[in-house]
Amino acid sequence: MPPPTPLSPPELSYLFTSLALEPPIRPDLRAPFQFRPIVAECSFLPHCNGSSRICMAESGECIVGIKAEVEKDTASKYATVIERDKWIEVSVEVAGGGASGPGSGVGVGGISGAGGASGKDEGDGGAAVWLKEGLLAGGAGILDRLVISKGWHWKLYIDVLLLTPTSHPSPLLLSAATNMALDSTFLPKLVSPHDVDDIPAFSDDWNISVPLYEPSTFPRPPMSLPVIAVGDNVFLDPSVAEVAAAEVGLVVTLTLADSEGHCDIVGVRGMEVGRGGGKEGERKGISRKLLRQMVSACVKEAGDVIKGLGESTRQQMFRA
């Protein structure tokens, strides 16, 4: 289901035309690759290993808390391989604006292959799935960092709390918050030897705790960016109305590959968009060239944004 918008068909058609112009005009007069301002905070929850809060004017607020628990490696009865992807558990909870608000949580993010289901837990599909997918995808290497010692690992619970007035918040909101929380996650330092399979022991001193992602090493935690195209124009960070008027939408997951702001692509998913200004069933599909333009726009333009978020995280971390 495409995201609901308050716009009427003539308004959508007008918006479509203005976005398809050369040069395009966005409703809020942004440049095509310009992002909207966000408020970002981290490390403010004392009971969490990592936490963050992102506030966006349109899509509301997102709070992420990450807790780590020590767990023994277990192989299931039939599989001899340790199921490492179970080491991370992502859950997304949507709390609408009040009791009568749209808190149903249907199809969070509207991302293809993830829509329809309620998106609360991984089992239901939805936002939790693609957040985790981005984390586990190659290059991120997070699972290796979760190994404590022989036979023991950290189990990471990533709880995402969405306070949003719309059921289709920008994927940017969720992924930026998760990114920032992961970036500011610290784990207690191991004091027992690595190669013994006894219960591991940790230091009580948080001043020598170990960051999950060592600062200024690469790759960094992943981040997903929504991108849409109207006509031949590509837009980053689309608003709800723009998504409704778009012809095609993608969510591109990236990680920062070096300190210059170059990015690696970790994943690309389709994003549900509106009717593209045309009638129902008139969607034409898009050319390969445009698809490539959309992805490369993300890679080129987003580096600075991800870098900026990382820098602001570092300034706010409890152990700066």
Q: How far is the CB of 180 from another protein (least distance, A)?
A: 15
d(CA 237, CA 28): 12
Q: Residue 61 or residue 183: which is nearer to another protein going by CB? A: 61
Please report the sign of the dihedral spanned by the C-alpha atoms of residue 74, residue 76, residue 81, residue 86.
negative
Question: Is residue 71 a contact residue for another protein (CB under 8 A)?
Answer: no
H or E stretch at 56: strand 50-56
H or E stretch at 312: helix 288-316
Size of the site for another protein (CB under 8 A): 34
Q: How far is the CB of 122 from another protein (least distance, A)?
A: 14
Question: Is residue 165 a contact residue for another protein (CB under 8 A)?
Answer: yes
Q: How far is the CB of 256 from another protein (least distance, A)?
A: 26
d(CA 117, CA 132): 16
Helices and strands per DSSP (H, E), number in the chain? 6, 12
Within a 10 A sphere around the Cβ of 100, how many other Cβ atoms?
A: 7
**Could you tell me if 190 and 209 are in contact, meaning their C-beta atoms sit under 8 angstroms apart?**
no
Site for another protein in 96-125 (CB under 8 A): 96-101
Question: Is residue 28 a contact residue for another protein (CB under 8 A)?
Answer: no
Nearest to 90 by CA among 136, 151, 44, 152: 136
Tell how far CA 245 is from the center of its chain. Answer: 23
Task: Write out the DSSP string of 166-207.
Answer: SSS--HHHHHHHHHHHHHT-EEPPB-S-TT--SPP-B-S-GG
Query: Which two three-digit tokens encode residue 117?
Result: 């289901």
Q: Residue 60 or residue 134: which is nearer to another protein going by CB? A: 60
Question: Is residue 168 a contact residue for another protein (CB under 8 A)?
Answer: no
| Cβ contacts of 287 within 8 Å, gap of 6 or more | none
Q: How far is the CB of 73 from another protein (least distance, A)?
A: 20
Q: Residue 164 or residue 175: which is nearer to another protein going by CB? A: 164
Q: How far is the CB of 204 from another protein (least distance, A)?
A: 14
**52 bridge partner residues:** 42, 64
Question: Is residue 164 a contact residue for another protein (CB under 8 A)?
Answer: yes
Question: Is residue 233 a contact residue for another protein (CB under 8 A)?
Answer: no
Q: Residue 51 or residue 179: which is nearer to another protein going by CB? A: 51
Query: What x-and-dash track marks residues 35-64 binding another protein by CB under 8 A?
Result: ----x----xxxxx--x---xxxxxxx-x-
Question: Is residue 33 a contact residue for another protein (CB under 8 A)?
Answer: no
Q: Residue 51 or residue 255: which is nearer to another protein going by CB? A: 51
Binding site for another protein (CB under 8 A): 39, 44-48, 51, 55-61, 63, 65-67, 69, 91, 93, 95-101, 157, 159, 161, 163-165
